[in-house]
Amino acid sequence: MTQEQQRPAQIDDAGEAGRWVRAHVAASGFRTVLEARTHSFVSDEPLALKGTDAGPTPYEYLLGALASCTAITLRMYADRKQWPLEKATVAVRQARSHEPDCEQCEIEDVGIQRIEQQIELTGALTAEQRQRLLQIADRCPVKQTMQRGFRIVNAP
C-alpha cells in the first residue's frame, strides 16, 4: 500500500463530508460536550458507571443516529410518494449491556453485536404501503453504513 493510499483524501471543510464533530472532556469525570456544526450537546455515563448522567451515553447516540435516520428515511419516502404516513416511530436497543466493553477494550474486541428494532407506522396506509415502508426502512443510509462496516483512520 502506498503512502497516498494510507492517507485519507483531503476533503474541503466547507462540504458535508469534511465537517468535524468535536468532543471535549474535562480533566475528571465522563461528561463530554459535543459540537456539530452550530449544535452543542452532552454525552455522559450513568451514575452506576461513575458518570453524572448529564446526557445519553455514546452508544445511545449511536442508536439514536440509527433510529432518527430510519425515521427520516421513512418520512422522505412517504412524502415523495404522497402517502398518508402521519407518524413513524422507530425504537432501537442494543441486545446486551455495553458496560463491560470499557473494561475489556484493551484486551479484546468489543462492541454491539446485535441491535433490535421496532417500527410503528401510523396513518391510513394500505397493507402494500406499510410493507414497502418497512422495506425502505432497511435502506436507511446509517443502517447500511453500520451493516457494511467502515474504517476509522487518524487524519493528518
DSSP at 106: T
C-alpha cell, 54: 448529564
DSSP at 51: -
Are 89 and 123 spatial neighbours (Cβ–Cβ below 8 Å)?
Answer: no
Residue 151 forms beta bridges with which residues? none
Kindly list the domain boundaries of the chain, sorted by start residue. Answer: 10-55, 57-149
- Tell me the whole-structure pTM to 2 decimals: 0.80
Other C-beta atoms closer than 10 Å to the C-beta of 30 total 20
The residue-averaged pLDDT of 54-80 equals: 96
Give the mean pLDDT of the chain.
Answer: 86
pLDDT digits (tens, 9 = 90+) for 27-52: 989 999 999 999 999 999 999 989 99
Superfamily per CATH, domain 57-149: K homology (KH) domain (3.30.300.20)
Amino acid 61 reads: Y
The residue-averaged pLDDT of 78-89 equals: 98
